[in-house]
Amino acid sequence: MHQVAILGPSTIWVLIPLAAIAASMWRRWLKVKEKQLDAQSRYTAEKTAQYAAHTERLEERVRVLERIATDKGVDLAEQIESLRDKPLN
């Protein structure tokens, strides 16, 4: 029986360019993934800042409502109406 060498000299010369092409494709894929992660990080940071600002506005409104509820000598209806006139944002 005659055996054929699978990785003979001619096969290796074909595999070298294929390996280079595969490595190039791998690097491109990694760059795309890196850009995706960077974009996701920026989006997450922006959303976090928006949520923090919104939370701060809500906390301020709660503080005002607490002050209204606990102050005895203040006209409650007038303060509630002034809050209705204020925009939420």
How many other CB atoms are there within 10 angstroms of residue 86's CB atom? 9
- CA 10 from chain center: how many Å? 49
pTM assigned to the model? 0.53
For the CA atoms of the chain, what is the radius of gyration?
33
pLDDT score of 11: 80
* pLDDT one-digit tens code per residue, 1-41: 556 566 677 788 888 889 999 999 999 999 999 999 999 99
How many residues does this entry show for the chain? 89
